[in-house]
Structure 1
Amino acid sequence: MRRFCCSLLPVLVAGLVLFAGCDSGGGTVPGNLGENTTVNLTEPNVTVIEGRGTDTLSIEVTDPGYKEFGVDVSVDESQSTAVLGEDVQGLPADTTIIFPRSATTGSVQNLIFDVTEDREALGDLTLSLSIATADTSGATVGESGVSTVSILDNDLLWADFSDDELPPMMAYSVASNNDWGTSSEGGADNAPYAVANGFEADAPSNDWLISPALNFNDFGGETLTFLNAKGFNDSGRRGLQVKVSTDYSGSGDPTNATWTDVSDQVTFSEGDFNFVESGEVDLSDSQFQSDAVYVAFQYQSSGPFNAATWEVDNIQVTGTPPIN
């Protein structure tokens, strides 16, 4: 028995030595960085589109060794036109990203943020940020330590009439003296809104609310959305149509231009002045690809005492700008 125990001793000692060389939540492997621990932003130039969900910036490590360390991330607000907390959500001005001891070459840590859908054609924005490591950490920043995020505006048109004025939409009356205007009557949450009502007009109404020229050549997937509400009934017609033209002059009588009716794509209010979402009206058809596209709301009534009321609001046309 003594001879058997002695024969096991070298094996047990060797096993203990191997076990001591492994890390198992507090082992003895040295907690050091690699000989050349380097971090980089994976994309020095990033392009995103507003309102399209979550976007990500990644920081990648090379030769991390076996030591936890932090990377400081800073947004240079003086070099950015985007405003944190307003245009960009979820990204603080300064934060620290931690690489754990388990990181290996090629491991990444992500910065996740959202670009707000501003619903206004305000133009593109930029966001400038950089990374740095603490002098005492031993890690260094590689060639890609700065990233510029280009935020592309996806809005071609936004009209919410919040100033109680029709622009950027334009009203044109073909017939009747009851033209498109604005109102807050009824206390709707989205008031003020644009409204047309041919009741007691001097003639059956034919009144148009027309957008400015929209350049679809610079976008794809163009989509129209809006709110609409109906009051009263016109026994002869619904009273509201949505149309699109590429040959309207931008002023004057719209009946001199060619208009395509897209009303069959719209969800219309059934009455009682209840606002409903129009749904997404697809304007991406090739016939609409032009540098001067007009979207119009045509209001008509059967007569001065047989007219519905139509209200529209939050008119938005969006598209997908090209990402080079």
Structure 2
Amino acid sequence: MYSTFSRLSALVVAALLLVMGTGCDSGVDPNLQTENDEPAVQFATSSVSSSRSADSVPIEVTISNAPDREVTAELLYANAISETEATEFGFPGDAVVGDGNAYVAGSVTFPPNAEGDAATATVDVPLSGTSDVDDQLTAVFTLQNVQGATIGSRNRFELVLGAITLLEENFSDEEPAPFAVVDAPDSGSSWFLATFDNDQSPYMEANGFGADTPSNSWLISPAFDFTETNGETLSFANAKNFDDGGVEQGLLVKVSTDYDGEGNPEDFTWTDITNREGAVYSEGGYEFVSTGAIDISDEEFQAEEVYIAFQYITSGTDGGTTELWQVDDILVRAQ
């Protein structure tokens, strides 16, 4: 059985998730940040999808700056804020916390000075296989009772049951691919891969401050075939700093079905989906937030070659006419 502290902590964590949503970075200018050597445990990725026919789903947890002591953590299924029901999973009877608002789904242990493969641990979350639900539903997991380290910023993990993952990119290979950076003629700056010693790094960044001309740079996905799927959604993490008084927002999100994959994107037709219902964007301070699932299942997008683009624009090149934007954890799903 789990301790009273464990149960109370689980409920507190679930409540905090309701208020805070996903984790965020330090909110400090990367050029001014100091390195953080504090050992931290977090999820390896922010989400994964699975069919309900699978026996279990592996969820990876990582540690950075491992100390010279053992580190342990529990994986919590937050039933109270999940779309799924606990019956979707094969949790043992003693995993329930309190009145069923949460379940301890498993635990991980990292040895002292964990590096390489030892710095990643996996919890196999069992699926019950008894659900008769066909809809795509999201289960939320978080970390709790971390002993010997702190909890990193990626402390919300979403398991989407019944979903198909068409693309999941967090730029961990430290290169933009499979995305392409395409600049409009005379763009003063370009999207680039940025790295820093924080939990979100690496990510794609655009910053037109100090450029020779205003910026118009595009970060464009590979082509998707939406003719064999339905219920397509897009989500991504984003962070902002500074304000451009000449534009409503320096980051625009667009979809095209006639882009040729290599030309000047300005010569093709794009549908602006930036401000679709429910989409969330950073308000500044380098704070990463998740957009949530943006619906891109429009009938006009049901084509064999569908491109998604992140367009970065500025009205000028100095303070008050440029914004800095960062993009990460890009996820395209379908049913």
TM-score calculated relative to the size of structure 1:
0.54
Identity percentage of aligned residues: 42
Give SS of 1:287's match: helix
Instruction: Indicate if the aligned counterparts of 1:48 and 1:55 stay in contact, CA closer than 8 A.
Output: no
**Bigger CA radius of gyration:** 1
* Number of corresponding residues: 194
Matched residue, 1:160: 170
Matched residue, 2:193: 182
Query: d(CA) in 1 for partners of 2:124 and 2:297?
Result: 28
Query: d(CA) in 1 for partners of 2:123 and 2:305?
Result: 28
After superposition, give the CA deviation of every residue in 1:206-227 in whole Å (9 maximum; x if it has no partner): 0000000011112110000000
Which residue of 219, 223, 240 maps to 2:229?
219
After superposition, give the CA deviation of every residue in 1:105-151 in whole Å (9 maximum; x if it has no partner): xxxxx7669xxx9xxxxxxxxxxxxxxxxxxxxxxxxxxxxxxxxx9
Query: d(CA) in 2 for partners of 1:47 and 1:235?
Result: 48
Instruction: Indicate if the aligned counterparts of 1:176 and 1:198 stay in contact, CA closer than 8 A.
Output: no
Query: d(CA) in 1 for partners of 2:300 and 2:122?
Result: 37
Name the stretch that deviates more: 309-318 or 176-185.
Answer: 176-185
Shift of 1:90: 2.1
Give SS of 1:255's match: helix
Matched residue, 1:297: 310
Shift of 1:55: 5.2
After superposition, give the CA deviation of every residue in 1:72-106 in whole Å (9 maximum; x if it has no partner): xxxxxxxxxxxxx9696327xxxxxxxxxxxxxxx
Query: d(CA) in 2 for partners of 1:274 and 1:171?
Result: 24
Q: Partner amino acid for 1:310?
A: W
Flag the structure with more relative contact order, 1 or 2, with Cα contacts below 8 A and sequence separation at least 6: 2
Q: Which runs of 5+ in 2 are unaligned?
A: 1-50, 58-82, 91-120, 132-137, 139-160
| CA 111–274 in structure 1, closer or farther in 2 if over 3 Å, else same | closer
- The alignment's C-alpha RMSD in Å is 3.1
| CA 191–112 in structure 1, closer or farther in 2 if over 3 Å, else same | farther
Instruction: Indicate if the aligned counterparts of 2:315 and 2:322 stay in contact, CA closer than 8 A.
Output: yes
TM-score calculated relative to the size of structure 2:
0.52
Answering whether residue 327 of structure 2 is matched by residue 312 of structure 1, we say yes
Query: d(CA) in 1 for partners of 2:89 and 2:327?
Result: 37
Q: Partner amino acid for 2:330?
A: I
Shift of 1:176: 2.4
Answering whether residue 307 of structure 2 is matched by residue 271 of structure 1, we say no
Instruction: Indicate if the aligned counterparts of 2:188 and 2:216 stay in contact, CA closer than 8 A.
Output: no
Give runs of aligned pairs for residues 168-247 of structure 1, distance below 5 A: 168-174=178-184, 175-185=186-196, 187-237=197-247, 238-247=249-258
Matched residue, 1:283: 296
After superposition, give the CA deviation of every residue in 1:174-202 in whole Å (9 maximum; x if it has no partner): 132421111124x4421111000011112
| CA 153–267 in structure 1, closer or farther in 2 if over 3 Å, else same | closer
Matched residue, 2:11: none
